[in-house]
Structure 1
Amino acid sequence: MLKFDTLSLVVSLISSRQYHFLSENMTWTEAQRYCRQNYTDLATIENMEEMNRLINTVNGSYNGSAWIGLYDDVNSWRWSLEDNDFYQEGERDFRNWYREPDNYGGKQLCVCMDYAGNWFDMSCDNTLPFICYDEQLLTFKQLITTIFLRFHNV
């Protein structure tokens, strides 16, 4: 008798999140467009661990402010990246305000971050460097197929 036993396919997915600091000055909308065309979106920060990774990306080479992907959408702060599958519970709510937001003059609807990780609201028409976010899904496929051929004498 001939018998085939087959073991299955193993697929593992690893998500790699990378931040990219761009020193060119743009308005928030221009920066968002650039990030969406070349990366995933403006930087989305989910927790303090991500904040520290972002600060380390700049690594002391810049001491000003830069746009991130947070904006005010009718009195509700939202992230530019709208993909619901991206966020886990509570991650949309992470904020690191420093004496803000104050919406000074009623026109500060976009958010920038300073070199220390403090967030400030600012007019979206100001021009600043910006931080893009790129999520790459790395797929490692490992196919383990073992075929056992057994011949049995009956």
Structure 2
Amino acid sequence: MWICSLTGFTLGWTYHYSNETMKWAEARKWCQTNFSDMVVIQNQLENDYLVDLLPPRNSSPYFWIGISKTYANETWRWIGNNSTWMGNESWAENEPNNNSTEFCVEIYTRPGPSRGKWNDAKCGADKYATCYKAQCTDSTCDRGRCHEIINNVTCLCEPGFVGNRCQTVNEWWWSEGREACFTYKCKCFSLCHLSWCACIDVLPVAAVECAPVPDLDHGNLKCSSMNLTVNSTCRVTCSFGFFTIASEHVTCHTSGLWSGPRPNCAKRWAIKISKNSIL
């Protein structure tokens, strides 16, 4: 089967259709196999844009679109997002006719006043599949949500991040406590119960954590953060009669490793010397 692509734009999703007819369920499976899913129309602008790209046909079969229902009195719903959007003039004249066996929808591409209008049809009828391929992926936006519209992909950034891919930390941004600053190699300031971060570098650092430092047998370990994230420090205080070996404190690095060997406490040994001892 040939795949026909409607390459009217390169940003945002792309539209595609089959050159062979198939039933509605088969059409959706075909779209999911080759692209993202059957086409979903979110507003009248998209409806008009799509029909301008589809090839004109003077008679049936036309093109399946991703709206359906499962029984006669159910509301029409779009696949995927479960939207119930219906334009004021989406349906062709006298449609939908609420036929008890017509639970799927085609879009007309014939010239004339019905062009771009919808018609409810039997899901077992053979029509052309109309699909879309999403451009948003898990890696499109570093710290944000990818949003697609016609001819555009936009990253909606999380608070504190900017850039076309939300890849840059603001030089100053409000945070929820010191841990947020540690995560992004920033210095934390506080005033009047508010905290903000001044970032050392503008590229975000992955939110890594160092492994917990084991408890000491003869001392106490106090860490600056419950979550041992980047720049967290742990300091050891030995019990009476014991002293610190290695380092008194360690710092969590961006590599996820501590800055030095594990702190520990060793016993102080007292040496008793008698009067007759020869030194």
Aligned to 2:44: 48
Letter of the 1:119 counterpart: W
Residues 65-86 of structure 1, C-alpha deviation per residue, up to 9 Å, x if partnerless?
11000101331111122x46xx
Per-residue deviation, 1:103? 3.0
Between the two structures, name the one with larger relative contact order (CA 8 Å, sep ≥ 6): 1
Q: Which sections of structure 2, spanning at least 5 residues, go unmatched?
A: 1-10, 110-114, 141-163, 170-199, 202-279
AA aligned to 1:46 is: Q
CA distance in structure 2 between the aligned counterparts of 1:68 and 1:121, rounded to whole angstroms: 10
Per-residue deviation, 1:142: 8.0
AA of the residue aligned to 1:103? N
1:100 paired residue number: 95
Deviation per CA, 1:93-152, whole angstroms, max 9, x where unpaired? 124111211133x110000001011100000000011210222116364866996xxxxx
Q: Which amino acid counterpart does residue 130 of structure 2 have in structure 1?
A: I
Q: CA RMSD in A?
A: 2.3
Percent of paired sites with the same residue = 28
Structure 1 residues not aligned, in runs of 5+: 1-14, 85-90, 148-154
Normalized per residue, which structure has more helix? 1
**1:45-124 matches, cutoff 5 A:** 45-58=41-54, 61-63=55-57, 64=59, 65-74=62-71, 75-81=74-80, 83=81, 92-95=84-87, 96-98=90-92, 99-104=94-99, 106-115=100-109, 116-124=115-123
CA distance in 2, matches of 1:144, 1:107: 54
For 1:30, the equivalent position in structure 2 comes to: 26
Counterpart of 1:18, as a letter, is T
Q: Which stretch has the larger CA shift, 92-101 or 36-45?
A: 92-101
Larger strand fraction of residues: 1
Q: Which amino acid aligns with 2:131?
A: C
Distance apart, 1:53 and its partner CA: 1.4
Residues 135-146 of structure 1 mapped to structure 2, 5 A cutoff:
135-137=134-136, 139=140, 141=165
Provide the TM-score with structure 1 as the length reference: 0.69
CA distance in 1, matches of 2:168, 2:37: 37
In structure 2, the CA distance between the partners of 1:94 and 1:143, relative to structure 1 (3 Å rule), is: same
Q: Which has the larger radius of gyration?
A: 2
